[in-house]
Structure 1
Amino acid sequence: MAGRGTVKPHAGFNASDDAGALHKAMKGLGTDEDTILQLLTARSNNQRQEIKATYKTLFGKDLVDDLKSELGGKFETLIVGLMTPPLAYDVELLRNSIKGAGTDEKVLIEVLASRTANQVREIKAAYKQEHDDDLEEDVTGDTGGHFKRMLVILLQASRQQGVQEGNIESDAKTLFAAGESKFGTDEEQFISILGNRSAEHLRKVFQAYMKISGYEIEESIKRETSGNLEEVLLAVVKCARSVPAYFAEMLYKAMKGAGTDDQTLIRIMVTRSEVDLLDIRTEFRRLFATSLHATIKGDTSGDYRKALLLLCGGDD
């Protein structure tokens, strides 16, 4: 899905000019936050990496360190996220979700359910290189039971390609037999089918499942499983149906109700701004009858809000 991001490479890009502008925005008394956020949200990640390299050459300092010392709070977290290469950002998300105090299952689920098989393989290799640890071992050491089994399957990143026409009906029947039609649940069948089939195959299985059982697969998962296993299975199903719709729902949940889940908001806006944020906006509008732009505007403030709205790239 090329070109479905809201952030595109800047046409008249000049790394030295940008590095100079950022340096000027941070030197002396006070910080010109506006220049920083206007400039960085209007550059692609590759361009930001060039600016970072040029900044080091011109001023002998690390741009990210300088930004950290000048900015604060959620705004700083957002800007530092934008300055991180996407692969390194994913590695850091997973590392922090495992190595912090307690395990942040939410982040583990989001990243492993929504990234492509190729991306998962790259993340594993980069994780090994960066931390000299095996991502799978770290994940399994930190989780348990059926939830762990599902994460391990997602980490294998070996989903079948395409649609196995001959298996659609039997997969749907197997899922029905594993849940709705028996007392107790055979979680292994859910894990195996949802973890190993392609998204396009699963979409057909979900249709067949609906015909056989009279239920959407999501309803059955909610009835038959609970806790982290339920969360990861639902995430996989939603991503198989539509990754942008999955993220639209995550963004909505992060902002509705009391208090904002800023970590989730920042994470999704950073990771999807060059991938499919235009599609996420469309789905958001369709699902929640309001725009992502309006929701961010009503839920955030200050430079943080300004930067998020620039990343959002327009109102629907």
Structure 2
Amino acid sequence: MASLWVGHRGTVRDYPGFSPSVDAEAIRKAIRGIGTDEKTLISILAERSSAQRQLIVKEYQAAYGKELKDDLKGDLSGHFEHLMVALVTPPAVFDAKQLKKSMKGTGTDEDALIEILTTRTSRQMKEISQAYYTVYKKSLGDDISSETSGDFRKALLTLADGRRDESVKVDEHLAKKDAQILYNAGENKWGTDEDKFTEILCLRSFLQLKLTFDEYRNISQKDIEDSIKGELSGHFEDLLLAIVHCVRNLPAFLAARLYQALKGAGTDEFTLNRIMVSRSEIDLLDIRAEFKKQYGYSLYSAIKSDTSGDYEVTLLKICGGDD
């Protein structure tokens, strides 16, 4: 199952010579001692793959009758605690919790919803939906429905359904047809047919959409981004632009999110933790490369200058290196 959450461009890999019982015991000692031994916790949890961390969690529960995450929560605090708990959470459950957090309380964090739902594959979305139901006894769709509205809601629900085509085949005829439909639904029409944008951008594969956007440019002499900006508005516009950005270059989209999280006064730890943890085994190397290319300095140095203490040390370990 883990393969859904592991790519070829991650910074975190399986730790050689791994022993869950040795690690569980070392973690227990680090937590039980007088004062917590954060260094040991970091050296273990930030240097094991997610699959290995899950084995440590199982072993810890079996040996000590306690949930590792509860012991970490009881012993750590602040951003460091959130990051360590994230590391011991299975990826689908982690995303489910992030989605719940985005919709909790007053106001919805639309940017976080958009980021998660546009960057996960259909198969990942299916697992996230299952995890969401298991943890909250409510369907993800129901919560999205009650927290959002209009075309934005429709598009989010389509993405949450995990129905985006994942085949690697591209169909040129379909790309031409879809491009024409998008043109007719927007630029070539008085008023906009939003449903057509949702159907095509939320259901076609990224490879297929790449071709469709090229065809769109041929038909309309405009980039799809410019048409979306001119025709649509609000969170629905933000969502569709995010999809286009991901189609063109997903690591660059996430690099831009990290840049936003790290720039200016204060750090958006919610976003920083989510991207660093959730992409660490998938494409963090590519995100790092895009970050450097776009902003002229490394993600490593950005984290270094913007965070501190054990939190900083852990993030830098996950980041894996300076570019």
Q: Do both share a fold (TM > 0.5)?
A: yes
The counterpart of 1:103, out of the listed 100, 104, 108, is 108
The counterpart of 2:221, out of the listed 197, 211, 214, is 214
The counterpart of 1:142, out of the listed 147, 154, 165, is 147
Q: 1 CA distance for matches of 2:83 and 2:280?
A: 12
With structure 1 as the length reference, what TM-score do the two structures score?
A: 0.94
1:266 match? 273
The counterpart of 2:294, out of the listed 282, 287, 297, is 287
The Cα shift of 1:231 comes to 1.4
Q: 2 CA distance for matches of 1:198 and 1:61?
A: 43
Q: 2 CA distance for matches of 1:9 and 1:115?
A: 22
2:58 match? 53
2:174 match? 167
The Cα shift of 1:82 comes to 0.5
2:130 is aligned with 1:125: yes
Q: 2 CA distance for matches of 1:76 and 1:201?
A: 41
2:230 is aligned with 1:230: no
Structure 1 residues 59 and 158, CA gap change in structure 2 (3 angstroms): closer
2:163 is paired with a residue of what secondary structure? Answer: coil
The counterpart of 1:188, out of the listed 183, 188, 195, is 195
Q: 1 CA distance for matches of 2:162 and 2:62?
A: 39
2:162 match? 157
With structure 2 as the length reference, what TM-score do the two structures score?
A: 0.92
Bigger drift between 168-177 and 44-53 goes to 168-177
Q: Which runs of 5+ in 1 are unaligned?
A: none
The counterpart of 1:26, out of the listed 7, 26, 31, is 31
Q: Deviations over 1:1-26 (max 9, x none)?
A: 73311111110111122122212222
Q: 2 CA distance for matches of 1:224 and 1:187?
A: 9
Identity of aligned residues (%): 49
1:22 is paired with a residue of what secondary structure? Answer: helix
Q: Which runs of 5+ in 2 are unaligned?
A: 1-5
The Cα shift of 1:215 comes to 2.8
Q: Deviations over 1:240-266 (max 9, x none)?
A: 222212111111111122222111000
The counterpart of 1:93, out of the listed 95, 98, 112, is 98
2:309 match? 302
Bigger drift between 291-300 and 213-222 goes to 213-222
1:242 is paired with a residue of what secondary structure? Answer: helix
Q: 2 CA distance for matches of 1:186 and 1:6?
A: 42
Q: 2 CA distance for matches of 1:114 and 1:141?
A: 22
Q: 1 CA distance for matches of 2:134 and 2:80?
A: 29
Could you list the structure 1 runs, at least 4 aligned residues long, displaced by more than 4 angstroms after superposition: none
Q: 2 CA distance for matches of 1:126 and 1:27?
A: 31
Give the aligned CA root-mean-square deviation in angstroms. Answer: 1.8
Bigger drift between 233-242 and 56-65 goes to 56-65
Q: Deviations over 1:57-110 (max 9, x none)?
A: 333332222211221100110010001010111111122223433322222211
Q: 2 CA distance for matches of 1:14 and 1:108?
A: 36
Structure 1 residues 60 and 154, CA gap change in structure 2 (3 angstroms): closer
1:79 match? 84
Structure 1 residues 128 and 61, CA gap change in structure 2 (3 angstroms): closer
1:313 match? 320
Q: 1 CA distance for matches of 2:12 and 2:110?
A: 29
Number of aligned residue pairs: 316
The Cα shift of 1:183 comes to 4.4
Q: 2 CA distance for matches of 1:262 and 1:42?
A: 20
2:183 is aligned with 1:176: yes
Bigger drift between 286-295 and 165-174 goes to 165-174
Q: 2 CA distance for matches of 1:57 and 1:134?
A: 31
In structure 2, what residue type is equivalent to 1:123? I
Q: 2 CA distance for matches of 1:286 and 1:182?
A: 38
Q: 2 CA distance for matches of 1:57 and 1:157?
A: 35
2:281 is paired with a residue of what secondary structure? Answer: coil
2:264 is paired with a residue of what secondary structure? Answer: coil
Q: 2 CA distance for matches of 1:48 and 1:167?
A: 44
In structure 2, what residue type is equivalent to 1:4? R
The Cα shift of 1:147 comes to 0.3
The Cα shift of 1:293 comes to 0.8
2:14 match? 9
Q: 2 CA distance for matches of 1:276 and 1:315?
A: 16
